[in-house]
Structure 1
Amino acid sequence: MHGSAGPQETAALRLMLFDRWRLVAGRQVVYVPARSQRLVALLALRGRQTRWSLAGTLWPDVDEQRALVSLRAAVSVLHRRVMGLVEKDHGEVQLADGVCVDVDEFRTHARQVLSRHHSDLSVTINQPTVVGGELLPGWYDDWVLVERERIQQTRLHVLEALASSLVERGAYADALQVALTAVEIDPLRESARRSVIRVHLAEGNTADAVREYERFRALLRRELDIAPTHHMTGLMRQLTEHASWEQ
């Protein structure tokens, strides 16, 4: 059910940018027109901005005055829909402090995972605020593409770090799920493939590790006409040397 939120609901606002744009006040989804959605998303991703910077980023193909008019219209719509969502101060605009944004939560958790300070890995692998998601799919503004790539790189590092931590705890099924998610995001990323191989090796599944390596090597040859790096070949060399020694 769509509706509008009053001033008393502002502190309970939650903005989601992973997988789709969605604003929720309490239990109610708030309808916001596309022009105002873009404004909210930009403020959520980049923080406090001047009116001129916002107008130029959101409407780069028109002159400054028309862009500022469009910005004022977008802000006006937001004030009618959700009073207090956006704040203006001395020519600058920002989201209200009380708005919860899934990307902010993801960034916080990412810092914890990458610094190895995340204590409860068992509940993380299915939480978008921990492993992230695709940022604003279907949006192709230049600034969205930049932010999407930045978040995707963070996601990949988080997934690889989680896979490593889960292997250390012996949670091989979860580790493999996480590592394969990284491969799904970027099939040509070697460090993601190495994460998958390390899970297989930790479980003693040598054949699965070799198959994963051969699949990756064939993909690299077909797509980029290159070979795996010495990090990958060294990992596989250790495997074959160990197997030869055991024989």
Structure 2
Amino acid sequence: GRPVGTGGGRAGSTAATGQVEMAVHVLGPLSVTVNGRLVRGWGTRPRSLLAYLVIHRADLPPREVVTEALWPRADLPAARNNIQVAVYGARRALREAVDRQVIVFERGVYRLAADVMVSIDLDAFEGHVQAGQRFADAARVEAAIAELEAAVALYRGDFLADARSEDWAVLRREQLRLAYLDALDRLSSLYLETGQYSVCALLCRQILERDPCREDAHRRLMRSYARQGQPHLALLQFRTCIDILARELRVAPGPATARLHERIRRHEPV
């Protein structure tokens, strides 16, 4: 995968070939550009509908599946009306960017038109994560770092961060949040291995901002501080770890964390 651009400056070439280029960002708030033009002025439901159709563009779910996902508690007549209103709003907003029908309805299925070429940051993110894992497993450290850095850079926020009330997005949001934390985790481990302790510490703090109970991240941060000649910060981090685990999970740090604390306290190498 490659980082997704906005397609800026390509409008002329796409117009000539008859293709519509749509770049969609779903990591963070939804952002859509069509032939380099940012789509604006559309409501929550049209945005959610387009996001759903883009995410499920390979599955081509029937209209009933889409309505059930977006309006799970609506009766059939209300759901059908809702989807028609949402499709109308999405088409109207998209027409501001391109004078073509982007969303079509055929044989009971709403989908993107065949000439719409979609690039999505989600695909690029997952591609970089997978490549980073492959390189790390093959001990190709520099290549792994480059791929994982690219993945982390694409994660501008949680999946569809401006659509928190959408039930259909909840599971995917949590899966991607964990994938992002795992990418940060692996990347920080690689930086620790290669002696880049300040970057490792920065990434560990990012992990702990989102998931303060990750004990392995606390340990890696303690090691980074100790190896930078800042044992006092490492010991403070241990106190932070104790407090957070007691408050959030009502547990004490594990033996590995306690042993690491003891080694740092005695000024032994870690």
**TM-score normalised by L of structure 1:** 0.80
Counterpart CA distance in 1 for 2:111 and 2:235 is 51
Could you say which residue in structure 1 is the equivalent of 2:160?
A: 136
Could you say which residue in structure 2 is the equivalent of 1:21?
A: 30
Tell me the SS of whatever aligns to 1:98: strand
Shift of 1:37: 0.6
Q: Provide closer, same or farther for how the CA distance between residues 75 and 212 of structure 1 changes in structure 2, counting only shifts above 3 A.
A: same
Tell me whether 1:41 sits opposite 2:65 in the alignment.
no
Report if aligned partners of 1:124, 1:131 keep a CA contact under 8 Å in 2.
no
Q: Provide closer, same or farther for how the CA distance between residues 46 and 179 of structure 1 changes in structure 2, counting only shifts above 3 A.
A: farther
Higher relative CO (Cα under 8 Å, sequence separation at least 6) belongs to 2
Q: Which moved more, 1:89-98 or 1:46-55?
A: 89-98
Shift of 1:17: 1.8
Report if aligned partners of 1:160, 1:195 keep a CA contact under 8 Å in 2.
no
Tell me whether 1:60 sits opposite 2:75 in the alignment.
no
Structure 2 counterparts to residues 106-125 of structure 1, below 5 A: 106-116=125-135, 119=143, 121=145, 125=149
Structure 2 counterparts to residues 149-168 of structure 1, below 5 A: 149-168=174-193
Whichever residue aligns with residue 105 of structure 1, its letter is A
Whichever residue aligns with residue 109 of structure 1, its letter is H
Report if aligned partners of 1:86, 1:95 keep a CA contact under 8 Å in 2.
yes
Tell me whether 1:30 sits opposite 2:55 in the alignment.
no
Percent identity reads: 23
Structure 2 residue runs of 5 or longer lacking an equivalent are 1-10, 95-99, 137-141
Structure 2 counterparts to residues 74-89 of structure 1, below 5 A: 74-82=86-94, 83=100, 85-86=102-103, 88=105
* CA deviation string 1:75-111 (max 9, x = no partner): 3443444345445554344456621111221111121
Counterpart CA distance in 2 for 1:229 and 1:149 is 26
* CA deviation string 1:139-171 (max 9, x = no partner): 222222222211111111000001111222332
Report if aligned partners of 1:13, 1:24 keep a CA contact under 8 Å in 2.
yes
Report if aligned partners of 1:105, 1:129 keep a CA contact under 8 Å in 2.
no
Structure 2 counterparts to residues 200-239 of structure 1, below 5 A: 200-237=225-262, 239=264
**TM-score normalised by L of structure 2:** 0.74
Whichever residue aligns with residue 120 of structure 2, its letter is V
Could you say which residue in structure 1 is the equivalent of 2:205?
A: 180
Structure 1 residue runs of 5 or longer lacking an equivalent are none
Structure 2 counterparts to residues 100-111 of structure 1, below 5 A: 100-111=119-130
Tell me the SS of whatever aligns to 2:38: strand
User: Please, what is the CA RMSD of the aligned residues?
Assistant: 3.2
